[in-house]
Amino acid sequence: MLRSFGWLAKGLARWTAPRCGRQAAASKGALLGSSRVQLWNATARFHESEQAKDYALPNSSWRKDMVNEFNKFMEMVKGGTWKKLPSYRNIVYYAPERMRQGNEPKKDRATRLFLRNIDDEGMGFEYAMFFNPSEKRMVCMFQPGPYLEGPSGFAHGGSIATILDATLGKCAIQVAGMVMTAHLSINYKSPIPLGSVVLVDCKLDQMEGRKVFMTGQVQSIDGQTVHVESTALFIQLQAQDITQLQTKSFIQQQLPSSCA
């Protein structure tokens, strides 16, 4: 799944990096203490004119099949059985609104979520996800662009693994809260042509303590072709896990490369 969800604390703060040697050692204790500061208050204010853009909406690059599937699920959203998940470019936008007020990312923020790192519409990952709470199931319509090519004319296996990991992971997050990928198994059965539209269908298999077991597959929209089958294990993160990740990530960001 998107490991950036597990690293939500990473990259949300802007601090002055400590120098090497004695000053770096002295600063380390301060950093540990600083990591307890409320996460969202540590982010820099953004330009007031910027708004979070939902990229999981139809654009001119979407094929007719993609738009039709999107509209079909939006009708089910109106019925209350499914809900549409927004898709943003920066991880900070996934925080609840009450935690983001006045702390949105700047326009010149250097980081982007991997699946939303291409500016040109239709060239990379075009997708939209819908979740069914009662079935604990996530469906993602996916249209791979030409920048995802592996074998000539077909999507790279790594891009397929990425969209699977993202869909399985977001489903696990909806069910169990913050998680990280522990294991992802993929069985490639049929190549996916670039520009085609497929459905990534994932659901909860079972939960054992903090272990979240998921299954998923990628199939053609008519259901006649199964391109990929997958199983995954996610680990539910607890508060202390997130704090440890935050502290470790935060300290690493502050040390210049010459101190490594």
Instruction: Measure CA 207 to chain center.
Output: 21
Q: Does some domain include residue 11? A: no
Q: Between vectors from CA 152 to CA 147 and to CA 157, what angle results, nearest 5°?
A: 65
**Each residue's pLDDT tens digit, 235-245:** 998 866 656 65
Q: Which of 165, 201, 205, 241 is catalytic?
A: 165
Instruction: Examine the pLDDT at 69 and tell me if it is beyond 60.
Output: yes
Instruction: Examine the pLDDT at 104 and tell me if it is beyond 50.
Output: yes
Q: Does some domain include residue 226? A: yes
Confidence of residue 256 (pLDDT cuts 50, 70, 90): low
Answer whether 11's CB lies under 8 Å from 43's CB.
Answer: no
Give the range of the structural domain holding residue 151, as residue numbers without chain letter.
Answer: 47-238
What total of structural domains would you count in the chain?
1
Question: What's the whole-model pTM score?
Answer: 0.74
- Give the 3-state secondary structure of residue 245: helix
Answer whether 217's CB lies under 8 Å from 226's CB.
Answer: yes
Question: Counting Cβ atoms within 10 Å, is residue 258 exposed (0-12), middle (13-18) or buried (19+)?
Answer: exposed
**Each residue's pLDDT tens digit, 120-135:** 999 999 999 999 999 9
**Each residue's pLDDT tens digit, 182-226:** 999 999 999 999 999 999 999 999 999 999 999 999 999 999 999
Q: What CATH number is associated with residue 62? A: 3.10.129.10
Q: What is the pLDDT of residue 102?
A: 56
Instruction: For 258, list phi and psi in degrees, rounded to 5.
Output: -70, -15
Q: How many CB atoms lie within 10 A of CB 238?
A: 12
Reference 165, options 205, 216, 206, 204; nearest CA is 216
Q: How many CB atoms lie within 10 A of CB 199?
A: 18
How far apart (Å, rounded) are the C-alpha atoms in residues 35 and 199? Answer: 40
Q: Does some domain include residue 9? A: no
Instruction: Examine the pLDDT at 42 and tell me if it is beyond 80.
Output: no
Query: Is 54 considered catalytic here?
Result: no
Q: Does some domain include residue 102? A: yes
Q: List strands edge to edge, sheet with 137-144.
A: 83-85, 125-132, 137-144, 198-208, 211-220, 226-236, 179-188
Answer whether 212's CB lies under 8 Å from 1's CB.
Answer: no
Q: Does some domain include residue 182? A: yes
Q: Which residues pair with 235 in a beta bridge?
A: 180, 211
